[in-house]
A and B are shown apart, each in its own frame.
Chain A
Amino acid sequence: MPLHFKSFRTRLLVLFLGLLAVVQVAAFLIVNTATTRSARGQIDAALVTTAESFRELLKERSSSLLVAARLLSGDFAFKKAYSTREHETILSALNNHRHRIGADMMFLVSLDEMVIADTLHPDQHGTPFSFSTLIGAAEENEYGEAATVQLVDGRPVQLVIVPLLTPTPDAWICVGFNIDNRMARGLKEISKSEISFVTHSDSDQWATAASTLSEQAIPDLKAALAQRIWQANASTIFTQSGEHYVSLVVPLEKSADRVLAVLQRSLDLALAPSRQLSLLLAGLFALGISLSAVAAVVIARRVTKPVLTLVEGAHRVKDGDFEQPVLVEQQDELGELANSFNTMMSGLAERDRVRDLLGKVVSMEIAEELLSKDIELGGEEREVTILFSDVRNFTELCENRSPQEVLSILNAYLTRVSNVIESQGGVVDKFIGDAVMSLFGAPLSHADDASRALRTATGMCAALQELNKEFRQQGRPELSIGIGINTAVVVAGNMGSQTRLNYTVIGDGVNLASRLEGLTKYYGVPVVVSRDTRNAAPEFIYRELDLVCVKGKKEPVAIYQPIVCKADEAADTVATIQAYEACLQHYRDLNWDAAIEGFTALALKQPDDYLYQLYLQRLEKFRSNPPPPDWDGVFAFSEK
C-alpha cells in the first residue's frame, strides 16, 4: 500500500532522508562487507603462511631431533654398551642419552623390529615395535632416517629414528619428544597464531594434547571438530567462548587424521579496527541524516511558504477579492508563478469591473449573454413578451423642480420597478427617460414568460403604491404609471454598428406594446395587454377594453385589462365583467339604447370606473352621428 503524505514538506523530508538512508546503508554494508572480507582474506593468507611455516618448524624440529639422534647413534660408548647385549646396561645408556638431549622417550629396536629397550616401559623388551611404518620410512631413506608424529600411549609425540651404526646398521634408535603446551607456546610465539594439537581416537573422541587456547575455549574447539564443519587445510570459522576464530586444521600424520594441529586467529580481533570504522560511519550517518533533515525542512519551507501564500491568494480570489496581490519575493519559478498569479488576478479584477459595469448598463442577463459569446451583429427570432411602462404626466412633474430632484425621484422609481422586473426574471432592455422597456423571454426564455410579465405589471403597481406612500411622507409628488404588454415573435440580438451595439428586440410586437402603453391613459386603466398576451397567460382575469386600430397598424387589435381582485370577490368581479361585456356587445351591434342603458347601470354601480364614462360619451356621439351600418366595432386611433 503506497504511503500518502499530505504535506509537501513531509514528502520532501521523507524523500531526502530515504535517499540518504539508502545511500548510507548501502555504503555501510559495502564497507562492512569489504572490511570483513578483507580481514578474513588477510587471516586466511596469514594462516596459510602460518601453516607453511608451521610445517617448516615441525620439519626443523624433526631435523634437530634427528641431529641429536644421529649424535647418539655415532656415540662409541653407546655402541660399546650395546655390544654388551645386557638389557639393563643398554636401557641405562639410553636414559643417559635421553637426558642429554632432553628427549621424552627413547627406544632401541633390532633390525627385525623387536624392541631391545624402551625407556617408557623399562620392563618391556623382545616385543614387536609399535611403529613399523616409521622403520619402513627409514628404510626408504638414503641415510636410514625418518621422522613422524605418532600417538604414543594416546599422546602425540614427535618421533625420529636413525640406524645404530657399528659401523653397519645393527639396530634402530628411536627418539621421541612430546608435543605439549610448551611446544605449542613456542610455536605461537613464532607464528602469532593460536595452536592446538588434537587427537582423534578410533571411537571418534576428540582430545586436546596441547593448546595455547584458554581453558574455556577448548570444549568449544572439540565440539567444532566433532561437528566436522571443517575440511583439512581449508579455513573455517569456529566460534569459541563467543569469539570467532578463523581456523585451519592441519593433519600431522600422513595416513590418517589421528593427530591434527589447529591453527587459529581471532576474526574479532582482526575486525576491531573496522568496528571502529563502522562506529565512525554510523556517526557520519547520523550527522548526515540530521543535516539532511534540516536542509530538507529549510528547502521545503522555501517552497511551501510561497505556495501557501499563493493558496491564500487563490482563496481571496475565490471570495472575489482581487485587490491584494500575492507577495513572493523569490526570483525562481515560484516567483514567476506568483507574478503570473498577480497578473491573472489583476486581469480578473478588470473583467469583474467590466462585468459589474456592463451589468449596470445593461441587465445582468444580457451582460452574461454578451460575455459568454462572441459579440456579433444579428439576431434570432423568438417569442418575447414585451412590457412598456411610463410615468404619466412626467413632463408636468418636471416643471418647477430642479433637475437634481427630478433625477432623484426618477432614480428611486426606476430602482423599484427594475427590482420588480428582475425579481420576475425579466430583463430591463432600456430606460427611455421615465419609460422602461423590459423583456420576458430574451435572452433567456421561460415557459411562463407572459405570466411573468403580468405578475411584473401587478408587482410594479404594488411597488408604486409603496413608493407613493414614502413620497407622500417626504412631500414629494405621487406618481402614476401606465403599462402595455404584448407577446409576439420578434428578432432578438445585437443591433447597431460594429463598434457600438445594443442587445435588444426589434419588431411590430415591440411597437404594439409601446402603443398599448399609450392607450392606458385613454382608457383610464393601469395596464393594457394584447390578445396574444392574454392567450399566453390565461390564468388571469381579463376585461376586454376595446377593439382598436392603432397607428401604423392595419389589423384591429383586441385589448384587455387584467383585473386584480381578492379571491372572495372573484365571482362578483367576473359577473360584473360579464355584464360589461354584454353592454360592449350591444355597443358593437349598434344597439345604442340597450348599450347606454347597460353602461349607465354599471356606471351607477361603479362610478369610479372611467371606462363606463368613456363608453357613455362615445354612445352619445354615435346616437347623433352614427357610424356606417357595416361598422365593425373598431375604434381607430389616429394619434399615438
Chain B
Amino acid sequence: MTVQRLLVALATLTCFLPPQVLAANVQVKVVDHNGEPLEHAVISLTYSGSAARANNIGQRAIDQIDKEFVPHVLVVEKGASVFFPNKDDIRHHVYSFSKPKEFELPLYKGTPAKPVVFDKTGVVKLGCNIHDWMLGYIYVVDTPYFAVTDDTGGAVVTNLPAGNVIAHLWHPRMKAARDTNAKKITLTPTQTASLDYQIKVRKEFRVRRAPRAGGRKY
C-alpha cells in the first residue's frame, strides 16, 4: 500500500509538473509528539505572488479496495476532478459532509461516470454509508507543490523553483489548526531544504469493522 502511494505521488510529480532545470527540493520529516514517524502528513508549499499554474490540474482517483479508501489521504489542487472507482464486488455509498465539498455517491458499482469536482480548498472527509470504518481524506490545496509522508514520516517535494515559499503541514489527526505551523523559507536553485516537524496528534477512535468476506466473525 505504501509503495502504491509512493508510486502515485511520483506519478503526480513526474506527469503533471513541467520539468525544470536547476530546481530546488524540500525534504520533510514528520514525527508525532512521541517521536514516532507520522504517515499521511501533507506538506504543501505556496509561493508568494502568483505561482505558475499547470493547465491541466487533471483528474484524480480514490479507489475503494477491500472496503478501504486507497490512498487514505489524497492531495489535489483546487478544481481537480476525482473519480471514486469501486474495485470491490460489493456496492459502496461514498459521502462527505465536509464544508469544502458535500456530496454523496449512492450505492454504486464500478466507477461512476462523473467525477466529483473539488473547487474549494480544505479538508474533505470521505466516508461510506454502509461501512462505518471506511475513512479517507481529500486535501484540496491551491498549489501544485506538495507531498505526503510515507510510513517513515518522510516526503520530498521536487522541482521547486527558487523563491520565497510558505510551507504548511497538515495531518488528519493533528490537534493544532493548519495555519499555526506555517514556515517561511527561501529556496535557492539546486538547494535541498530540510524541514522537520514534530506535531501533536489526536488519538483516533477505533471503529468496529465488519468481518471480511470469508474471514473470521468480528
**Residue ranges of A at the interface with B (Cβ–Cβ < 8 Å):** 74, 76, 79-80, 82-83, 139, 141-144, 163, 165-170
Contact among A79, A83, A143, A166 for B206, CB-based, below 8 A: A143
Those of B192-218 within 8 Å (CB) of chain A: 203-208
CB < 8 Å neighbour of A79 from B97, B172, B205: B97
Sorted nearest first, the 7 A-B pairs with minimum C-beta distance are A167-B127, A144-B205, A83-B97, A76-B129, A167-B135, A166-B97, A142-B206
Within the complex, what minimum Cβ distance (angstroms) separates B101 from chain A? 12
Say whether, besides A76-B129, A83-B97, A165 and B207 are in contact (CB < 8 Å): yes
Chain A residues in 8 Å Cβ range of B132: 74, 165, 167
Tell which of A83, A141, A143, A169 touches B208, judged by Cβ atoms closer than 8 Å: A143
Main secondary structure of the interface of B (DSSP, over half): strand
B125 beta carbon closer than 8 Å to chain A:
yes
**Inter-subunit contact A168/B125 (CB<8 Å):** yes
* Residue contact B205 to A142, C-beta cutoff 8 Å: yes
Contact of B129 with A166 in the complex, beta carbons under 8 Å: no
Query: For the complex, is B102 an interface residue (Cβ under 8 Å from A)?
Result: yes
**A167 and B102 contact, CB distance less than 8 A:** no
Residues of chain A within 8 A of B129, CB atoms compared: 76
B126–A167 touching, CB < 8 Å: yes
Give every chain A residue within 8 A of B206 (Cβ-Cβ). 142-143
Which B residues are in CB contact (< 8 Å) with A139?
203
* Residue of chain B at shortest CB distance from A166: B97
Shortest distance from the beta carbon of B179 to any chain A beta carbon, whole Å:
19
Binary contact track B19-56/A, C-beta < 8 Å → 1, others 0 = 00000000000000000000000000000000000000
Q: Given the known inter-chain contacts A166-B97, A167-B135, please indicate yes or no for A143 contacting B205, CB distance below 8 A.
A: yes
> From B132, which residue of chain A is reached at the shortest CB distance?
A74
Residue in A closest to B104 when the chains form the complex, CB atoms: A80
28 contacts between A and B (CB under 8 A): A76-B95, A76-B129, A79-B95, A79-B97, A82-B97, A83-B97, A83-B102, A141-B205, A142-B205, A143-B205, A143-B206, A143-B207, A144-B205, A163-B205, A165-B132, A165-B207, A166-B97, A166-B125, A166-B127, A167-B126, A167-B128, A167-B132, A167-B133, A167-B135, A167-B207, A168-B125, A168-B135, A169-B205
Number of A-B contacts (CB under 8 A): 42
Q: Does B134 contact A (CB under 8 A)?
A: yes
Q: Is A167 touching B205 in the complex (CB atoms < 8 A)? A: no
Chain B residues positioned under 8 Å from A167 (CB to CB): 125-128, 132-135, 207
B203 proximity list for chain A (CB < 8 A): 139
| Distance A82 CA – B97 CA, assembled complex (angstroms) | 9
Residues of B near A79 (CB, < 8 A) are 95, 97
Q: In the complex, what's the smallest C-beta–C-beta distance from A369 to chain B, in angstroms?
A: 129
Instruction: For B95, list chain A residues within 8 Å (CB).
Output: 76, 79
Q: Tell me the minimal C-beta distance from A475 to chain B in angstroms.
A: 157
The residue of chain B having its C-beta at the shortest distance from the C-beta of A167 within the complex is B127
Cα of A467 to Cα of B208 in the assembled complex, Å: 153
CB-nearest residue of chain B to A141: B205
**CA–CA, A141 and B127, complex, Å:** 22
Q: What residues on B are CB-neighbors of A141 within 8 Å?
A: 205
Cα–Cα, bound, A381→B129 (Å):
154
The residues of B that contact A80 with a CB separation of less than 8 Å are 97
**CB within 8 Å of A: which B95-133 residues:** 95, 97, 102, 125-129, 132-133
Whole-angstrom distance from the CB of A143 to the nearest CB of chain B? 5
Shortest distance from the beta carbon of B201 to any chain A beta carbon, whole Å: 13
Measured CB to CB, the nearest residue on chain B to A145 is B205
1/0 per residue, CB under 8 A from A, across B50-81: the answer is 00000000000000000000000000000000
Chain A residue contacts of B97, Cβ below 8 A: 79-80, 82-83, 166, 170
Expressed in whole angstroms, the Cα–Cα distance for A74 and B208 within the complex equals 11
B14 to chain A, nearest CB (A): 32
Q: How far, in angstroms, from A144 to B207 measured CA to CA in the complex?
A: 9
Taken together as a complex, chains A and B put the C-alpha atoms of A139 and B97 apart, in Å, by 23
Complex: A141 Cα to B135 Cα, angstroms? 20
List 6 additional contacts besides A76-B95, A143-B208; criterion CB under 8 Å. Answer: A82-B97, A83-B97, A142-B205, A167-B133, A168-B125, A168-B135
**Residues of chain B with a CB closer than 8 A to A144's CB:** 205
Q: Which residues of A contact B102 (CB under 8 A)?
A: 83
Closest to A75 in B: B129
Residue of B nearest to A84 (CB): B97
B residues in contact with A165, CB < 8 Å? 127, 132, 205, 207
Give the Cβ gap from B145 to chain A, nearest Cβ, in Å. 27
Residues of A within 8 A of B128 (CB): 167
**In the complex, chain B residues whose CB is within 8 Å of the CB of A170:** 97
In the complex, chain A residues whose CB is within 8 Å of the CB of B204: 168
Cβ–Cβ < 8 Å partners of A142 in chain B: 205-206
Which residue from chain B places its CB closest to the CB of A79 in the assembled complex? Answer: B97
**How far is B134's CA from A144's CA once the two chains are assembled, in angstroms?**
17
Measured CB to CB, the nearest residue on chain A to B127 is A167
Least Cβ distance of B175 to chain A in Å?
A: 12
Q: What chain A residues lie within 8 Å of B207 (beta carbons)?
A: 143, 165, 167
List, in ascending order, chain B residues with CB within 8 A of A74's CB. Answer: 132
Most chain-A Cβ atoms within 10 A of its Cβ — which of B95, B102, B126? B95
CA distance A166 to B97 in the complex (A): 7
Nearest B residue (CB) for A82: B97
Instruction: Find the residue from B127, B204, B207 having the highest chain A CB count within 10 A.
Output: B207
Q: Which residue of B lies closest to A169 (CB)?
A: B205
Question: Which residues on the A side are within 8 Å of B133 (C-beta)?
Answer: 167
C-alpha gap A166/B96 in the complex (Å): 8
- Chain B, residues 124-162, CB within 8 Å of chain A (1/0): the string is 011111001111000000000000000000000000000
Shortest CB distance B206–A (Å): 5
